[in-house]
Structure 1
């Protein structure tokens, strides 16, 4: 891990173009990549893609699309020439925005109209296809703005969510306008109105589980899932879902942050090992606390703590609270027990659980812990545990 540097995300620090560009390019080693597909599903109800696909009304109907948002309306080569008439015959609602993919273009004027249109599509139970020419800049920018405005996500996490689903490349001018929107929303207290301000809580939480009931899972299998590519966490805290957050040791040692994130439970996986929790503060705030003295080593046995940690996490989930799970770096001990929780309480196979956690936060789990998770997987597999799979 010493070969990697970690960016700590400070909620009070203004975002920058460079920070957003790093989020966008970090999965490809700093390179900007074009999409490998014509369109991608960003979250439940939202597709992001290219103009040629949007022009095919038959494809739109096959996808179940009820709303089309053209963010590059126009007749030249850098725009997409569509209109409401071509979709009206199929019962699809249409909104066209005449945006140009240029640094000086004022995209901010479309943030709220686009967010309202997408929101209308989703709240009516529909599917929204958002596009420009390539589905990487104009359309991606407005999907990010929607997530910020309607789903109370910070710009960093909105960008991270969209980038996890599709290669994108908003121009620096658009990124700056998104940073400006982030500051505007932050000043108004917008991000404090939900427990899932850092979450991709709107995502479809179904995780494809390709670990068959008879398949043996190996350390190598899990390493491929968790280290593709290998990175240390880029933020102090990652919201796994609306009830679970995973992060660094010091992040929740303040009244303000406990209240801001709606924390009801704190699970410290490196208790008394250079990671001291303010237990008095938690007691005063009515926050439940569990400390486990785990060691991130190749000899430590984490298995005795699986059930204890899973029960504690589940206690928070059952009361619709929010549990903050942490160790020193929020990447190994804490990630391990979170995966074990998903396996024990939610009936996820180890591969599906690892994939789910990695999708929300970078994880660097040592080979010893991975083997113990594989052993747990085999044990649960043998008793038919995964046949009772639950949705998170």
Structure 2
């Protein structure tokens, strides 16, 4: 079932998702400046403290049950956010791993994206699934949808906006086969942007519009 899944994938500039093999492979950890490791399967995998100056955050998520992650309310979510951002703030990287780097890793990575960018569960799920080329357990996805209502308020900063734009453009280019993210002509209307398109807000009543028309030209140079 997991034979065609890569050992590790890079989700963002500072965040990797993988299986247990890569979590213990010291050359990879060292070469990619990974100083923080999130172990999503603490019941099955012991942390490899022989890696040196690597910090660990361990969750004991069951293979087919994500409920333990929220058993202490939002505490695990807060710990995850602080842990990954601690590495990010010092220009270091984090690896999120489980046994195969599938359900539990994708679930935890989705939680982080939802908290950091205040994304809908569907957007986070699409991005991590595109990264690892596999969907997580449907029950895990359901838990993420239920988690949306507990997201903390979003505080926008220029760096956060730039990071989100980069991540969204990466997804659009890779998954939707678009050269750049779709654009809408400037208006005075308020819009919400999701991976499924644009949602226009008129008098507080949202309605969606489809993206049609000519193809988009790339502004990126490829090797």
Same fold (TM over 0.5): yes
TM-score category of the 2 structures, normalised to the smaller one: 0.7 to 0.9
Among residues 101, 108, 116, which one is paired with 2:63 in the alignment?
101
Change (3 A) 1:158 1:332: same
**Counterpart mapping for 1:91-240 below 5 A:** 91-103=53-65, 105-108=67-70, 109=72, 110-185=76-151, 190=153, 200-201=164-165, 203=167, 226=177, 238=193
Hey, which bits of structure 1, 4+ residues long, moved more than 3 A? 32-35, 190-197, 204-207, 236-240, 255-258
Higher strand residue share? 2
Q: Which runs of 5+ in 1 are unaligned?
A: 1-31, 210-224, 228-235, 241-245, 259-325, 353-385, 387-392
Which whole-Å CA distance do the structure 2 matches of 1:33 and 1:238 have between them?
A: 33
TM-score in terms of structure 1 length: 0.44
Change (3 A) 1:253 1:148: closer
- 1:41 partner SS: strand
**Does 2:50 match 1:86?**
yes
Tell me the alpha carbon deviations over residues 55-114 of structure 1, each in whole angstroms, 9 at most, x when there is no partner: 11222112221111111113xxxx22224x323x2x222222222112364222433322
- 1:252 partner SS: strand
Tell me the alpha carbon deviations over residues 159-203 of structure 1, each in whole angstroms, 9 at most, x when there is no partner: 111112112443233222211111223xx6x36968989x94353
Larger Rg: 1
- 2:200 partner SS: coil
Tell me what 2:210 maps to: 329
Q: Which runs of 5+ in 2 are unaligned?
A: 179-190
Q: How many residues align?
A: 201
Which whole-Å CA distance do the structure 1 matches of 2:2 and 2:22 have between them?
A: 20
CA contact (8 A) 1:41 1:48 kept: yes
TM-score in terms of structure 2 length: 0.72
Change (3 A) 1:52 1:239: same
